[in-house]
Amino acid sequence: MTERLLPTPSQTIGPFYGHALPFPDGGQVASQGHPEAITLHGYVFDGAGEVIPDALLDFWQAAPDGSLEGAPGSLRRDPSTGGFLGRNGLDFTGFGRVATDADGRYALHTLPPGNAGLPYISVCVFARGLVHHLFTRAYLADGADPLLDSLPADRRATLIAAEGANRTYRFDIRLQGEGETVFLEFQ
């Protein structure tokens, strides 16, 4: 039995990550014009119902074929300029990163996840004022699911994205208060 090390504590992302972590097309996980592409979008709200314009969301999901392997190349850099080269448009990396805009809104353009069970996209929320990130899930369908079934109806509803026109799914995130999103811890 090896000695268990103690974890490094979390700290806030702060307000000034904008020149560092977001990258061009961070929300464009599907290649442009892919016929199967879907858009997951919504707003991030605080406990007063105000939008949060300085949140950062990381997304992780299964590929359409159910694979959880992912692929490198989400953040591809240009070795000659150090600039951003962009995804190659062919490999599905499974990873996206979007900062909320001035209206507190985000949009992720991706492919439908093919995980076993109900399809969902895993979301990690960072923001100024949040000293420890929050995990949640955007389910793209409702149905039998061990996590959803463990929740009362009103809380369950916060994890299910509302399907709209043109393969869009609306998923708002409320950090506090009425309609507070269910946040998860993994054991």
Partner 1 sequence: MALTQSDIDVEIKDLQDAYDKAVAGGAPVRHHPSRDYPPYRSSLLRHPKQPLVAVDGGDPETVELSGPVFGVTDITEHDSDLTIQHRGEPLGERMTVSGRLLDRDGRPVRGQLIEIWQANAAGRYAHLREQHPAPLDPNFTGVGRTLTDDQGRYRFTTIKPGPYPWGNHTNAWRPAHIHFSVFGTAFTQRLITQMYFPSDPLFRYDPILQSVTDRAARDRLIATYQHDLSRPEFSMGYEWDIVLDGPSATWIEEGR
Residue 83 vs 164, nearer CB to partner 1:
83
Please report, to the nearest 10 degrees, the dihedral formed by the alpha carbons of residues 181, 109, 60, 36 taken in order. 110
Nearest to 145 by CA among 134, 158, 156: 156
Q: Are 170 and 108 in contact (CB under 8 A)?
A: no
Enumerate residues 6+ apart whose C-beta is below 8 A from 144: 118
**Euclidean distance between CA atoms 47 and 70, whole angstroms:** 35
By CB under 8 A, residue 157 contacts partner 1: no
Please identify which residue in 32, 33, 132, 153 interacts with partner 1, judged by CB under 8 A.
Answer: 132
State the nearest-atom distance from the C-beta of 151 to partner 1, in Å.
7
**Of the listed pieces 11-19, 34-42, 104-112, 161-169, which binds partner 1 according to CB under 8 A?**
11-19
Residue 20 vs 165, nearer CB to partner 1:
20
Site for partner 1 in 38-77 (CB under 8 A): 46-48, 50, 52, 58, 60-62, 68-77
Number of residues that bind partner 1 (CB under 8 A): 79
State the nearest-atom distance from the C-beta of 61 to partner 1, in Å.
6
Residue 18 vs 164, nearer CB to partner 1:
18
Site for partner 1 in 164-183 (CB under 8 A): 175-177, 180-183
Q: Are 106 and 42 in contact (CB under 8 A)?
A: yes
Enumerate residues 6+ apart whose C-beta is below 8 A from 132: 10
Enumerate residues 6+ apart whose C-beta is below 8 A from 82: none
